[in-house]
Amino acid sequence: MTKKTVAILYGGRSVEHGVSVNSAKNIFDFLDRNAFDAIPIGISKSGKWFRTNGVNKNMEEGIPLGLILDAVEGGLCILGTQEKLPIDIIFPVLHGTDGEDGSIQGMIKALDIPMVGTGVLGSAVSMNKIVSKKLLKEANISVTKFLTISYDQKDSITYSEIAKELGTPFMLKSASLGSSVGVSKVKNEEDFKKAIQDSFSYDQEVLAEEFIKGREIECAILGNNPAEASFPGEIVISSKYEFYTFEAKYVDGEAVRIDVPAKVSEEIAATIRQLSLDAYRALHCEDFARVDLFVTEDGKTYVNEINTIPGFTNSSMYPMMWKDRGLDFTPLITRLINLGFERYQNNQRIERDFQSALKF
């Protein structure tokens, strides 16, 4: 069988740039070289694209890339030479802004190149915490109580207004970020003043939501029509952290214990898996995603958010949950790439031309 060439897209103009590098490195290292060749493509923090020698943080040492805007013969090329890169499929491993929000996905779609993962619509609505919660709520999927704050309300909204509606403590979150960046737990007026400044420094909208005292549960989804759910896993956070912060996720090696599978009853596990599948479908996700949930002491389950490009670092839950089900890193990556090819082929049935009496 002829090997296919996979472009691994990483880095990006996001506060999660470093996490993306670590995720992409694992995908590059564990890619089945008998089936695929890899072309690593790094996007610098300033937004410049480079073909890199392996996946590394010094991406600006690579070969600068450009773009040929042609849906038939176009694609990525060596800047200045128009030498086109021989790409069969693109695997975006970009977390956060300009990578997980539909922008890159739109460019790839316009170039008509196969891609791994959720497309423009699902990426955009899943990335925005406000839009995703509204859609989940409309689909009768349990979410926490929430309010939205736009930037022009920043100086008029008060702590007491939010506390009256949501109770205390409550959470403030930038609308379209991940990895707990721009997230704060608010317990008083002083917390609120700091938190509102921090959240708005990263976004034009902020989500305020009730604080749920419960267990941090995650579920991995894989596939299309039908998708399948892993058994849930749990993030057990050290008592020195009030919630799952960026430091707890990526910096402090002693901050969390990961239980895969989570120690929950069969009934709760079944509820988590079904809710996760329902949320995946409601937000038009494709190929794979990780659903984050809360489970309270009395067994109530809430969907918190969906990550359409979950982490693939050594401590990431998504590959760990599938490994628990017997699907190791390399065959998991192969499955994801094949899903991207299958979905692309299925979409070829869609007509792009319409014959009419219009004259132009």
Mean pLDDT by 10 residues, the chain (360 residues): 93 88 95 97 95 94 93 90 94 89 94 96 94 96 92 88 92 76 85 88 88 93 96 84 61 75 95 97 97 93 94 89 95 97 88 69
What is the reported pLDDT for 199?
A: 87
List the structure tokens of 159: 């702590």
**What domains can be seen in the chain, in order of their start residue?**
4-115 (3.40.50.20), 145-210 (3.30.1490.20), 213-347 (3.30.470.20)
> How many CA atoms within 13 Å lie on the side-chain side of 21?
20
What is the reported pLDDT for 245?
A: 60
Q: What is the pTM of this model?
A: 0.90
As a whole number of angstroms, the distance between CA 221 and CA 307 comes to: 10
Q: Under the phi-then-psi rule, with left for phi > 0, alpha for psi from -120 to 50, and beta for the rest, what region is 223?
A: left
What is the reported pLDDT for 272?
A: 96
As a whole number of angstroms, the distance between CA 204 and CA 151 comes to: 5
As a whole number of angstroms, the distance between CA 13 and CA 99 comes to: 8
What is the reported pLDDT for 202?
A: 81
Helical H segments across the chain, by residue range: 17-30, 103-110, 120-127, 129-138, 159-166, 189-200, 246, 266-282, 317-324, 329-347
What is the reported pLDDT for 268?
A: 95
pLDDT digits (tens, 9 = 90+) for 82-127: 899 999 999 999 988 788 999 999 999 999 999 999 999 999 999 9
Query: 277 to each of 140, 323, 324, how far by Cα in Å?
Result: 13, 19, 18
What is the reported pLDDT for 360?
A: 63
CB 181 within 8 A of CB 207: no
As a whole number of angstroms, the distance between CA 241 and CA 256 comes to: 9
List the structure tokens of 352: 């792009």
